[in-house]
Structure 1
Amino acid sequence: MALLNGHPADPDALRTLALTNYGHFTTMRVDGRRVRGLSRHLERLVRDCRTVFGAELDPATVRGYVSEAVGDRTGACVVRVTVLDPGLDIGRPAAADDPHVLVGVRPAAPLPLPPLRVATVRHQREVASVKHTGLFGSLYQRRAAQRAGSDDALFVGPDGLVSEGPTWNVGFVAADGGVVWPRADVLPGVTMGLLRDAHGHLVAPVAIDQLPSMQAAFATNTAIGVRAIGAVDDIRLDAAHPVLVTLRERYEAVRGERL
């Protein structure tokens, strides 16, 4: 059951989100009532609420809503926190300044997940720095990639530089064994931030024609952790590369914050 401001969500209150798709969210994996990067998730929600609604969001209140939604679950689950204004008028979005907090919980998949096969596509998410609910473009590209035989899409900007996936950040293991994160207009992912803190890296432009020189690649977000990418288009990559093993171990070693 989804909770809106700590109470069972009234479908009427969610109609605006369904019809306008205007809001923002974060997704976190909860293991034993602990969340890796919980403070960063809350900071994201506060930051994005200022951008999307011009309003302040109390992180302690949000944390309480998440704790209530998780309840007495002791295993792993995935929690999505969506911020919306049920009173939003599509003709006057500038007046939307009353954020409500919707919390949903779903089972978590066991990790690690199998390697991805991704297809490059020219696409740029709108307002890429915000984790917003406007997912049509991203899901359309994912669907197209899947119908063409891949698992997901990898976005490349009009400048020919790799950026991110539909719902994940991407990193690479270069020819010298170093980790490279693309310098591009991307979502500042929580998992990406934790990995940057835990492992040496370089942030640099990654052009599409550089991909054949990469040893390995990986996707990251809270739900998937560190997921190997086994192929980009027809370029085969090492899904069992030792650096990926190290990244996964270091991420798993990050102690979660208690709800």
Structure 2
Amino acid sequence: MAATTRDPRFLPRYGRVVLRIEIDGAAPTAEQLAPAVLANYGHFTAMQVRDRRVRGLDAHLRRLDAANRELYGTGLDGDRVRALVSHALADDVRDAAVRVVVFGTADPAVLVAVRDPSSPADRPHRLMSVDYRRPLPHVKHLGGFGQAHHRNRAAAAGYDEALLTTPDGVVVEGAITNIAFFDGDDVVWADADWLHGITMQLLERELPSRRAVVRLADLGSYRGAFLTNSIGVVAVSAVDEVEYEVDAGAIGRVRAAYDAVPWDAFE
């Protein structure tokens, strides 16, 4: 029987308990939250915090600053972001999933949401390819209806994630992930108009990596694949009808490389 979107096996393993939300360093009012709900315009970054530290903090701050310049015409001070995250964590939260959201059509505000920490899935994922590309793909922006819709479609068909592709079959990215393939000893990142994810950026520094255009028709020529996002690294066992035997050693090397990335403090 096909899984449905209510099947917990196919829900993302995000922290479901919201511990705290602040806007510009204070508890939000309804008037402050209204632009986030109604305008649906802005950008964000998501991170896993452990012991009040995060991997790739500078990359997160660069992402926020670049997106802010593109969407609002002005930079976003990294020290301000660090202070806002530290304030939202307060003295009682050391491990969390943190999302920093800049929103509003004018005079943007900075929202920090603190939730229970998340861990990567402990089983390989199966992907369903879909013909869809995110608008303004290099920006991690709000308004991901298309991604959510295709993830729900994939879940209803028994898959774990949607794989976004172009009409002519070029692999772009997952709905909420980047994808890479094993080609011998090298890691091949699908090269397209995608979001350059933080975990992808960190792993490109740590592993023998290259980028290449990957087409659906070529998937059988690779010996494996994996997904990355802010939660971590997950092996891929299939894309549509193409199946991969998961190489525990290769996935283990990727995870070890990610585990070796140093953690950066907010304070």
CA shift in 2, pair 1:18/1:103, >3 Å: same
Distance in 1 (CA, whole Å) between partners of 2:123 and 2:179 is 16
Report the equivalent of 1:93.
Answer: none
Distance apart, 1:79 and its partner CA: 0.1
SS state at 1:8 partner: coil
Match of 1:243 in 2: 250
Return 66-75 or 199-208, whichever deviates more. Answer: 66-75
Letter in 1 for 2:207: H
1:49 aligns with 2:68: yes
1:115 maps onto 2:139 in alignment: no
The corresponding residue for 2:213 is 205
1:151 maps to 2:160: yes
What secondary structure, in the 3-state scheme, does the structure 1 residue paired with 2:173 have?
A: coil
1:138 corresponds to 2:147:
yes
Q: Would you say the 8 A contact 1:118–1:152 is kept in 2?
A: yes
1:38 aligns with 2:57: yes
Question: Matched residue of 1:7: which SS?
Answer: coil
Query: Under a length normalisation based on structure 2, what TM-score does the superposition of the two structures give?
Result: 0.89
Partners of 2:48 and 2:118 within 8 A in 1: no
Q: Which runs of 5+ in 1 are unaligned?
A: 89-95
SS of equivalent to 1:125: coil
Q: How many positions carry a matched residue from both structures?
A: 247
Alignment root-mean-square deviation, CA: 1.3
Q: State the secondary structure of the residue aligned to 1:128.
A: coil
Report the residue type matching 1:158 in the other structure.
Answer: P
- 1:222 paired residue number: 230
Q: Which amino acid aligns with 2:142?
A: T
Preserved contact between residue 228 and residue 239 of structure 1 (Cα < 8 Å)? yes
Q: Residue 17 of structure 1 contacts residue 84 of structure 1 at CA under 8 Å; is this kept in 2?
A: yes
For 1:57, what is the secondary structure of its paired residue?
A: coil
Normalised TM-score (structure 1): 0.91
2:28 maps to a residue whose letter is: A
Structure 1 position 258 matched with structure 2 position 257: no
Paired position in structure 1 for 2:12: none
In structure 2, give the amino acid aligned to 1:213.
S
What is the aligned partner in structure 1 of residue 31 from structure 2? 12
* 1:13-48 Cα distance to aligned partner (Å, 9 max, x none): 111221121110000110111100011001100000
Q: Separation in 1 of the partners of 2:262 and 2:93?
A: 16
| CA positional deviation for 1:74 | 5.7
Written as runs of structure 1 = structure 2, the 5 A alignment for 1:160-179 is 160-174=169-183, 176-179=184-187
Deviation at 1:112, TM superposition (A): 5.2
Who is 1:183 aligned against?
191
What is the match of residue 238 of structure 2? 231
2:112 to 103, 109, 118: 103
- Contact preservation (8 Å) 1:5, 1:100: yes
Q: Distance in 1 between matches of 2:55 and 2:245?
A: 27
Contact preservation (8 Å) 2:151, 2:175:
yes
Cα deviation code 1:71-92 (max 9, x no counterpart)? 235653110000012xx3xxxx
8 Å CA contact 1:55–1:99 kept in 2: the answer is no
Question: Could you tell me which residue of structure 1 aligns to residue 95 of structure 2?
Answer: 76
Q: Distance in 1 between matches of 2:146 and 2:48?
A: 25
Residue 66 in 1 paired to residue 103 in 2? Answer: no
